[in-house]
Structure 1
Amino acid sequence: MSLLGVDVGTTGTKAVAFNLEGEAIASAYREYPLLSPRPGWLELDARKVGKAVLDVVREVASKTKHDPIRALSVSCQGEATVPVSRDGEVLYNTFPARPWGRYRGRGPPRGRLSRHRGTRPTLQRPGLGRREGGGSCLMRGLLELARPLNMAIGFAAVVVGALVAGSLGPVSDVLRAALSASLILGGGNSLNDLCDLEEDRRNRPSRPIPSGRASPTAAGIWAALLFASGLLMAFPLGRPFPLALSAVGLLVLYDILLKRLPLVGNLAVALLGGAAFLYGGMAVGRIEGALVPAVLAFLFHLGRELIKDAEDVEGDRKAGVRTLAVVRGRDSSLRWASATLLLTAVLAPIPFFLGMYRWPYMVVVLLGVDPVLAYVVYVLLGCPDRRTLGRLSRILKADMLLGLAALVAGR
């Protein structure tokens, strides 16, 4: 017995069959164009959407004959409207919910509807509340692309980097550096989703771009705006500005090329993770004090990135992305992740013994950071499934906050 999920989106329809353990056993995807017959109009061909839904369901059903589908669930884009005649004949294109804001208040192309074979259209004027679509929906999608939690962690890492380097003054420079770093990180996250569109259609179809909540064009403009804002914030800092500019360059290079190279992309992300602490140290002119947390952050991010590669291995393989998990195998990526995280756990207490941090640092490391790392390594050695790897990735993100707390407590 299997269960079928069908997602009818703005630019494509996807169907996925799952067994009772929650594992995906078959999937299919069909894309269709978003039409713009006139400036400001965004529509879909209802016939193509209907055919796409039938095609993906038939394809998945043919792949699951050994495990027949017994139930299904359908998600769609919201209050989409299809003008039809009394006989059920489609009269004109679909008006999808997501882009309603583009022509709200002007209504659909009534003249073309009313002239179609002299049939009176069923719907004269659509209306969709601001809460459900239009600009607010797009803005939510763009904010999700930037990953506000990651931006907040990046902001905190820069502030902590300045703190452990020996000073928070001048406070205005530290806050400027932290804000610029979070904006640059948001731009990198947005560009990453734009470049990962094909992979996300397989691995994470609910992300803003594959789900239709943000268009590729809007995502590109949003990424550029965040990058530019971050650099403008960093420019008055002087010495730290080249590091900010290098971070933008590395993020763009990563999204375009490096992420598709085994281990190289992981090292690039880990380097950026460690650079946040160095950036904070540079903002107060004391980079030496930020070197130790930068090294620990580098190892921590490297291990987490390798776990994420193993989680996405099937989608990456189909998209032709040559991650370590694809080239050397999922188990190899998990072994490297385990070794890296274990090394991080071993190295974390050393700064205390060297007299760099006070005893509260050691308490948080021994009771918080290291037990989490040990748990993650233990689970990784047991050949976890994709869902478990996603959970471990989220656990490690929370452990980052414990690491920051340890640094602040031990200052």
Structure 2
Amino acid sequence: MPHKVFTRGFSLLAGVILASASLASLVHAQAPEVFKVGILTDMSGPYSGMGGPGSMVAARMAIEDCMKAECKGMKIALLSADHQNKADIGASKAREWLDRDKVDAIADLTNSSVALAVQRLIREKGGIAMYSGPATTVLTNAECAPNGFHWMFDTYSQAAGAAAALTKMGQKSWYFITVDYAFGQSLEKDASDVVKRLGGTVVGSVRHPLNASDLSSFLLQAQNSKAQVIGLANGGQDTVNAIKQARSFGIGTKDQRLAALLVFLSDVHALGLTDAQGLVYADGFYWDFDNDTRSFSKRFEALNKGNKPTMVHAGVYSSVYHYLKAAAATKSHDANVISKKMREIPIHDAVMRNASIRPDGRVIHDMYLYQVKTPAESKGPWDYLKLLSTIPADQAFKPMDASCSLTKEKS
């Protein structure tokens, strides 16, 4: 379990990288002083492009930036683990971090099933979780927690963007191809609700396993439905595979539109503009939005093998930075104390706009509706998106749900 301990000036304690065998002695000797952040993500699977190693880069950047300002003098350890997109592995690692290693906060948590397992764990054991990778809205309604924060996007924010825009354009009959677990089911439901509310219809759906390499049979079922829109309620490599295979079959080029409800910049990069052009989707962060995002992304790219950050990476940066600012302000390791402070202090950083934390733990902020450029429109590497509209923070996310106990006294 590699981890780094950052001190003032970014030097490292006890060498550079400490092996897991030495972690217990470090915890025993320095637990009251060291704030520990764990990045629990998909390091090599279908979501590793949008999270994975890039999330570690983003967390390191957050630590370094905080230590130049609010966190001067603090000692901060950064750990990482691969949950392999399995809830039991993710929960086991989180339990080990909380019980043995005294980790204070866990971030990223790409994969909704893993996130829900960790949310239940932190309600029981304490600690703080900050979710920038998972999409299920259950994290801020039925499974909400006072120490759980859903940072960047969710299934509603994606549906409210692309599904609403296309339905309003007259694309009113939909068929969904959905990854068969909590994330996909939530994305399909939220998109379906938006479509129906705007006068559209859902003519059918089909579900596929996570990390499916061959989606041809599902795409052909969708094509035969004659729906105006084939909605892809999946993410990461599954979305990339679906779009590539759809293009090869000629799906989504004539009377049917292909709509990917959750797309990341890494997906567009993997597809290339020839296959991705014309896709319309909602995103919480784009590197070329303004001078601050360009500066942040230039730093990130230099540290991440020339790859620009996704909104997951941006969310990891923002959430880790905000947590550390709250920890510095309270000088406490108590999750309840820090969670309260996180809700009190403003979210202000290079990547978020008009952001705040609701009582249910949902971080609301401006979202953006983008369209992927054609090859002719692109002016250079990573120049992939054009902004269609801004979705204000108070409209981009689902209103607080009564099923969350944290909203009772606030509603």
Q: What's the TM-score once normalised by structure 2's chain length? A: 0.30
Of Structure 1 and Structure 2, which has the larger fraction of its residues in helix? Answer: 1
Larger Rg over CA atoms: 1
Instruction: Name the one with the larger strand percent.
Output: 2
TM-score calculated relative to the size of structure 1: 0.30
